[in-house]
């Protein structure tokens, strides 16, 4: 029986989305639930986020499992050091131009993750669209190596060859993931590369919330349901098959 591995997006999947990424609240039980589940899965639990790994560690302390950060630009195996993707160097001139554009939009702010930049927009929709267009035009001018990845009220500017899907693929090459079936959980369009990669490995996908509902094999309404599912899974003493895990997701969806 193939063991499941678990790939979890963080914001909007484990944590409720809020106006500013620094203002999220972490459910008190979450770090312990992740630790129990990671032990149960023999280290085959991976957090996959647009945030950098240092920020994830800080939020979920003392939990420090395997993580993919900045949409695949950072990777850290359980107990190891953070590794940076060779493409993870943003030219200073591109960074300056992004900052200059963002200054023209009062509701926008920059989240600088070192190897990538996220631009958040909290103004009206028209301003958000205009800002996204300006950033896309900038990336197009800068050549094929950089692209804009639009998410929910955020645009990520990052190397085009790296995404959460390539992050999942690189983790799957690790021995403790060999032969596992990935269960991939995410809430946003930036998770779709990871959904596609997980499906190529024969896994299943869970869409959280209402943004990518149709893209998942399964659906959970909110991070509350996700935590309920993870808690139930972490508490069971069985070695679940993918079918058992699917049943646990369906249970958490209706509870």
Alpha carbon 83 to its chain's center: 17
The footprint of Mg ion on residues 186-215 (CB under 5 A) is 187-188
The answer to whether 191 touches 232, Cβ cutoff 8 Å, is no
Nearest residue (CB) to Mg ion, 74 versus 97: 74
Q: What is the C-alpha end-to-end distance of the chain, expressed in Å?
A: 28
C-beta of 40: minimal distance to Mg ion in Å? 24
C-beta of 235: minimal distance to Mg ion in Å? 25
* Tokens at 241, concatenated: 């098959």
Q: What are phi and psi of 164, to 5 degrees?
A: -65, -25
C-beta of 144: minimal distance to Mg ion in Å? 26
* Region of 98-106, 182-190, 194-202, 228-236 interacting with Mg ion (CB under 5 A): 182-190
**Whole-number Å distance between alpha carbons of 188 and 103:** 26
The answer to whether 232 touches 248, Cβ cutoff 8 Å, is yes
Nearest residue (CB) to Mg ion, 15 versus 134: 15
Nearest residue (CB) to Mg ion, 12 versus 159: 12
Q: What contacts 161, CB < 8 A, 6 or more positions away?
A: 87, 145
C-beta of 13: minimal distance to Mg ion in Å? 5
Residue 128 DSSP label: H
Nearest residue (CB) to Mg ion, 37 versus 118: 118
* Tokens at 82, concatenated: 């953070």
* Tokens at 66, concatenated: 């395997």
Catalytic residue (choose from 9, 11, 187, 188)? 9
The footprint of Mg ion on residues 7-66 (CB under 5 A) is 9, 11-12
Ranked by CB distance to Mg ion, the top (closest) residue is 12
9 is catalytic: yes
Binding site for Mg ion (CB under 5 A): 9, 11-12, 187-188
Catalytic positions are 9
């Amino acid at each position: 029986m193939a063991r499941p591995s678990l790939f979890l997006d963080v914001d909007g999947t484990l944590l409720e989305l809020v106006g500013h990424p620094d203002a999220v609240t972490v459910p008190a039980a979450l770090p312990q639930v992740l630790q129990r589940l990671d032990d149960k899965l023999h280290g085959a639990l991976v957090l996959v986020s647009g945030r950098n790994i240092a920020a994830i560690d800080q939020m979920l302390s003392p939990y420090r499992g395997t993580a993919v950060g900045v949409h695949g630009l950072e990777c850290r195996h359980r107990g190891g050091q953070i590794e940076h993707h060779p493409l993870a160097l943003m030219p200073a001139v591109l960074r300056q131009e992004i900052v200059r554009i963002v200054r023209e939009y009062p509701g926008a702010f920059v989240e600088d993750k070192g190897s990538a930049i996220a631009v958040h927009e909290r103004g009206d929709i028209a301003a958000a669209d205009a800002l996204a267009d300006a950033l896309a035009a900038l990336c197009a001018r800068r050549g094929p190596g950089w692209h804009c990845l639009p998410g929910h009220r955020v645009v990520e500017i990052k190397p085009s060859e790296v995404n959460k899907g390539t992050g999942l693929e690189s983790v799957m090459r690790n021995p403790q993931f060999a032969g596992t079936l990935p269960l991939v959980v995410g809430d946003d369009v930036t998770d779709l590369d990871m959904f596609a990669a997980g499906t190529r490995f024969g896994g299943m996908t869970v869409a959280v919330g209402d943004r990518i509902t149709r893209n998942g094999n399964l659906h959970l309404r909110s991070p509350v349901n996700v935590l309920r599912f993870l808690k139930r899974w972490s508490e069971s003493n069985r070695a679940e098959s993918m079918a058992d895990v699917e049943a646990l997701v369906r249970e958490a969806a209706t509870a």
